[in-house]
Amino acid sequence: MKRAIILLACGILGGISGYFVAPFASMGFVQSSEPQLFGAFMFSLVDSSIVCNCETQPPDQAIKTLKSDLSSLEKWQGQNEKSNVLAQEIGLAEVRLSRLERKLSRNAEADRDMKSAQEQLKALGWKDTSEEHLIVLTKRLNSEVKSDDRKSNSVAAAR
């Protein structure tokens, strides 16, 4: 009887520890065996963080989040310099950062970030990199993500 209880306890403890260890072990495995897949996954997390979190946070906190996400994107761009997608996301993140800095009346920083975004996007071949166009574009992209979130929330609530 004692042997059965010990085996059951060991099985339960092993299952619980495996439950917590498995996600980290699988991330390490995917990162080492499929770096592009892992990079794409992490990119999608950062991209959704830039749009979703920054719109719902106070401007000071949103700036911190954006700067953190921007540094992640720049780090990945250093590892994959030919990626136009990363360059575009960096440019759009800089536009979002510029908009937030304008809200906080940090005009010098906002101008610097907007100019950097315009240079980044112009280097990709964008025709219209005017400040007005980029602001409207990022607002539209943010609203599309919000409307998608509302649709998925209403579908989930209906179930």
Please give the average pLDDT of every successive group of 10 residues along the chain, which has 159 residues: 87 86 76 68 64 69 85 83 85 91 91 94 93 91 64 45
Residue with tokens 């065996």: 33
Compute the distance between CA of residue 9 and CA of residue 52 in angstroms, rounded to an integer: 43
Is the distance from CB of 110 to CB of 131 less than 8 angstroms? no
C-alpha neighbours within 13 Å on the C-beta side of residue 25: 6
Helix residue ranges per DSSP H, the chain: 2-33, 35-48, 54-56, 59-79, 84-103, 107-123, 131-158
CATH number for the domain running over 31-158: 1.25.40
The domain spans of the chain are 31-158
Question: Own/partner pairs for 72-81, CB < 8 Å, 24+ apart?
Answer: 72/42, 72/46, 73/43, 73/46, 76/39, 76/42, 76/43, 79/39, 80/39
**Which pLDDT does position 152 carry in this prediction?**
47
pLDDT at 98: 93
pLDDT at 49: 57
What local confidence, expressed as pLDDT, does residue 47 receive? Answer: 61
The helix (H) or strand (E) run that includes residue 49 is none
Task: Report pLDDT for 127.
Answer: 93
Q: How far apart are CA 28 and CA 34, in angstroms?
A: 10
